[in-house]
Amino acid sequence: MSSVYAAAAPHAHIVTGDLIGVTANGVDAFKGIPYAAPPIGDLRWRGPQPPQPWSTPRGAEDYGQSCPQRSSPEHVLPSSRGATTSEDCLTLNVWTPTQRPPKPMPVMVWIHGGGNSSGTSAQTYYDGTAFARDGIVLVSFNYRLGALGFFTHPATKGANFGLLDQLAALQWVKQNIKAFGGDPGNVTVFGESAGGTDILTLMTTRKAAGYFHKAIVESAGWWNDVPDLSEAQKAGAEMATRLGLPGASATAAQLRALPVEKLTASSDAEATGPVIDHDLLTELPKSAIQHNRTQHIPLIIGTNSNEGSLVPPDAPVAEVAGDLSKAQRDELIQLHGVHEDSSEAQWIFRDAHFSMPARWVAASESKDAPVFLYRFEYVASFLARRRTAANHGSEIPFVFATWPDYRLNAADQHMTHTLHGCWVAFAKTGTPACPDAPRWPSFSVGSDIWMRFGAEIAAAPVSDRAVLNFLQQALQK
């Protein structure tokens, strides 16, 4: 790096050493920053360890490598290191305004989705430039996925490594974010799909208390049971057998010697999720929410109108309806009536796995903190010929304002401005004062109001109440 470039580039000093980032369009970006030691060798299937410090300035111009997963990361620039995978992947990225105000700025920390088995912070839709332009310090990070993040076995003992990575990233933020102009006392964590579900899980563990102060949960599937450690270790022993090792008798050394390609290619790599390990998690997250044993922080939570895009239109209804009996499914279909924007399997999947749980969480959490419930229904103009409703994940480029401008008409631009602005306002104040939109009232069981982001933006009573009430009663255990 030339001395001229180094002098012009933004610098930051953090606990582990100096960083050199890049500046573009009034925003400084620092990428690929290690927040934990590489979880390789003896550190595979161990909790994240502190990163090693460095003595000379470290370049932070590009993303770190993505965590191993079955397929290549999507939506990553071909020139980026994020397009490749490695177990040495525990890095994070920071965007901050080049001209920083004297007062520390709110911080937002993004947890990507992908079923805890795929994904990367390097997706182009997750670029934090728009947030930084609006006075937010934006952080994104990678965490261990699939079998590397959620496998457990009697020989390795620990569990929830992917969640522990997320907690380590939040601890890094608390320790270092002042170096980027951020306020460690005003951190909003937000995530989509599995990232949203993980946030709900972190809200129920005492070890995460104080590391974030507000939360935004987008399209979190949330009605599944969580196995106990002994049950998960039994499944891990069975996985070891399938991978050619002596089941429960396999040693930690044998397990850690398995090639990463063998782990990511295994069908077990897709079966991921938290475990009641009696350390990070001491009870079912659903139970903790139900009994008000959470952090009680301001919360935005919501879903999209076509979460059913995750399943084929002709999927068997019995396979997507959870534990509903045939009689219950028939009654549910009668209650719902005919809708043209999705098949029976798709809307039942949406309501059973997304809409009902989101409303249930909102009802529980609203007893102790302000909660704002939403449904995102908007379809971008250039997608309208192919879609009639908002698919799973389709809110993300509106939230990050990362749509290519040339593709947007005036209505698309307005939705981007509004939804992005809601999230910014919430991070700054705890209230989603959405620009150019009606007031978004907080949720209560009595009012049962959500904000609908569609062709029109309006606060309205929750639709299909009878369906959601029926599902809650039928599926709640």
What CATH architecture is 8-475? 3-Layer(aba) Sandwich (3.40)
In this prediction, residue 224 carries a pLDDT of 72
In this prediction, residue 5 carries a pLDDT of 43
Q: Which residues of the chain have pLDDT under 70?
A: 1-7, 223, 267-271, 339-341, 477
In this prediction, residue 404 carries a pLDDT of 86
The one catalytic residue in 192, 307, 344, 395 is 307
In this prediction, residue 72 carries a pLDDT of 82
392 as an active site residue: the answer is: yes
In this prediction, residue 3 carries a pLDDT of 39
In this prediction, residue 85 carries a pLDDT of 95
In this prediction, residue 315 carries a pLDDT of 93
- Break the chain into its structural domains and give their ranges: 8-475
SS (H, E, C) the chain: CCHHHHHHCCEEEECCEEEECEEECCEEEEEEEECCCCCCHHHCCCCCCCCCCCCCCEECCCCCCECCCCCCCCCCCCCCHHHCECCCCCEEEEEEECCCCCCCEEEEEEECCCCCCCCCCCCHHHCCHHHHHCCCEEEEECCCCHHHHHCCCCCCCCCCHHHHHHHHHHHHHHHHHHHHCEEEEEEEEEEECHHHHHHHHHCCCHHHCCCCCEEEEECCCCCCCCCEHHHHHHHHHHHHHHCCCCHHHCCHHHHHCCCHHHHHHCHHHHCCCCCECCCCCCCCHHHHHHCCCCCCCCEEEEEECEHHHHCCCCCCHHHHCCCCCHHHHHHHHHHHCCCCCCCHHHHHHHHHHHHHHHHHHHHHHCCCCCEEEEEECCCCHHHCCCCCCCECCCCHHHHHCCCCHHHCCHHHHHHHHHHHHHHHHHHHHCCCCCCCCCCCCCCCCCCCEEEEECCCEEEEECCCHHHHHHHHHHHCC
Residue-wise pLDDT for 365-406, tens only, equals 999 999 999 999 999 999 998 888 999 999 999 999 999 888
267 as an active site residue: the answer is: no
Q: What is the pTM of this model?
A: 0.96
